[in-house]
Amino acid sequence: MTTRSHRAVITGLGVLSPIGSTPAAFWEALRVGTSGVRSIQGFDASGLACQIAGEIPDFDPKSLIEKNYRKSLNAMSRMVQLGVVAAQLAVRDAGLAKGTIPPERFGVSFASVMAESEIDDLTGLGAACSSGPGQSVDMDAWGRAGVPQMPPMWMLKYLPNMPACHVTIMHDAQGPSNSLTTGDLAGVAALGEALRAIQRGAADFMLVGGCESKLNPLTLARMDTFAPFTRHNDRPESAIRPFDRDATGTCVGEAAAAFGLEELEHAQRRGASMLGEVVGFASGVDRGLTGAGLARVIRNAMADAGVTPSDIDHVNAHGVGVAELDRFEARGIAEVFGRDTPVFAPLSRFGNTGSASGIVELACSLLALRYGELPGTLNHDNADAGCPIAVRTDAGRPVTRPYVVKVSATDLGQCGAVVVRKWNDA
């Protein structure tokens, strides 16, 4: 185990998801097996081959954000709004009063992606520099009539560093700050970076988050041509089938989640409630998607935490419902744990939330540790022979061991693992 002088505990959780947007509602939906994958409601998706997604219902950022910052929402895309609100909810849940931490000891580590440009920001420009539907863009008209119609804050609504930028401004966080853009790995990577900042004494409190929303007709029309999306629009709640022989593909989901990661003694001095302790992290690449590289990363994370497979209650897997990717992930998990350790794959409840996935999925296990029971994996009915792992489908399995390993990976083989310990006062 690597010796470091500072320990890092999770003292706050904010979550916005298709199955619930408070920790209590999120947990209850997990516990009873609610699916948030539904027919798309935000726009007419009838022309798409995949017409389902994990959509957050009734998201109203103005009712959730501090009054002083409501005007700033106009300069944020939906994805950025989700991230900023989740971060505020995490700070509130951590019981952290503004100004109680020196700004230089407050940091931010956020997972995100280039946001999707909203149609209303582009339609006027397109009409101004094209002679009609299906016609090419007239670049002279673009410079003369199109550019003047571009909203002056257009670029700043969509850049991937905007969630971290707005969060640092809102909370006067002047400590370590970074934006992670490694796709589905980004959330776990953001947590790992925040862990190292706490361990080396660079910050007392790190606001760690992830956000993504691709529920945009232009984006989904583009992705629909190449992404491995399911076509089972008639049964959205059972369409994503992780590690299952009948897997037909995945769908997008939108979500945001954030943790307050705090140095242990700092949290104890202010009497903070603790959800868990982050004790290990590692990342790497398995370019051939063999599983061997992922297994190495998992072992490195457990070595960093000083634990063995016998200490692990369950593995929290990504499980996107795409056969090739699920088999890759399963091979890596099986090389370390065999079939002895339960695997929990929550993504089928809310779709693939990309940059938000690592934080949102880990939140499921944090709550399982808190309440002492592990929800079942939805839509895993017939195990894929290429996935030699023990996927748990039974709801309410008791949590019997103190550690969880969260695994994340991308389709390019980037992978990471984080180890979390159930908090107790011992």
- Tell me, what's the pLDDT at 345? 98
Per-residue model confidence (pLDDT) at position 426:
46
Paired sense of beta strands 403-409 and 414-422, if any: antiparallel
Strand ranges for 201-310 from DSSP E: 205-212, 255-263, 276-285
Residue 386: exposure state from Cβ atoms within 10 A (0-12, 13-18, ≥19): middle
Domains in the chain, CATH or no CATH each: 8-115+159-422 (3.40.47.10), 119-154 (no CATH)
CA 296 to chain centre: 23
> At what angle are helices 78-93 and 162-170 packed, to 10 degrees?
40
Tally of CA atoms within 13 A in the half-sphere of 56 that contains its CB: 24
Please list the residues that pair with 32 across neighbouring strands. none
CB contact burial 137-174 (16+ within 10 A = b; e otherwise): eeeeebeeebeeeebeeeebbbebbbbbbbbbebbebe
pLDDT tens for the 426 residues of the chain, in order: 444 689 999 999 999 999 999 999 999 999 999 999 999 999 999 999 999 999 999 899 999 988 888 888 988 999 999 999 999 999 999 999 988 999 999 999 999 998 877 777 777 777 778 776 667 778 888 788 877 877 777 778 889 999 999 999 999 999 999 999 999 999 999 999 999 999 999 999 999 999 999 998 889 999 988 999 999 999 999 999 999 999 999 999 999 999 999 999 999 999 999 999 999 999 999 999 999 999 999 999 999 999 999 999 999 999 999 999 999 999 999 999 999 999 999 999 999 999 999 999 999 999 999 999 999 999 999 999 999 999 999 989 999 999 999 999 999 999 999 999 999 864
Q: For 307-413, where are the alpha helices, taking DSSP H only?
A: 323-337, 357-371
Can you tell me the distance from the alpha carbon of 233 to that of 298, in angstroms, rounded to the nearest whole number? 35
Nearest residue to 351 via CA among 215, 240, 186, 230? 240
In this structure, how many other beta carbons lie within 10 angstroms of the beta carbon of residue 3? Answer: 6
- Identify whether the C-beta of residue 234 lies closer than 8 Å to the C-beta of residue 225: no
**pLDDT for residue 66:** 85
Tokens of 208: 């760690």
Q: Give the per-residue pLDDT at 134.
A: 67
Q: How far apart are CA 306 and CA 292, in angstroms?
A: 21
